[in-house]
Amino acid sequence: QVQLAESGGGVVQPGGSLRLSCEASGIIFSNYALGWYRQAPGKQREFVASISRYSGGSTKYADSVKGRFTISRDNAKNSVYLQMNALRPEDTAVYYCNADLVLHRILEEWGRFSTWGQGAQVTVSA
């Protein structure tokens, strides 16, 4: 059973930066594709970014964060990261990570995941 622990959230001003971390346990980490998701108040959870398994050579981003956010992974630390730059108030949300052996499920079928971490709160406000 995979366990996920997000960290690195906080309160930042518009235009600021923040780096989120997610440590996974209970899996052979390098075999899994990974994704970041977020849920803003009063809205549905949405996909943010994904990275392929092993060396993470393939990444994908939601249009709303493209050019501002960067996903990366460190298999030695069983961790995936989300570097967030040029933050906007509309980025305010709880951010979650998840993992799957199949990249397609990270991109399209993540709503079926039954296990989530506690999430990391990101608040962008002046």
Residues 8-45 have pLDDT tens digits of: 999 999 999 999 999 999 999 999 999 999 999 999 99
- Asked if residue 50 has pLDDT above 90, the reply is yes
By C-alpha distance, which of 1, 4, 3, 10 is closest to 91? 10
CA angle 23, 95, 19 (to 5 degrees): 65
By C-alpha distance, which of 54, 44, 47 is closest to 106? 47
Confidence of residue 1 (pLDDT cuts 50, 70, 90): confident
- Mean pLDDT score, 58-84: 98
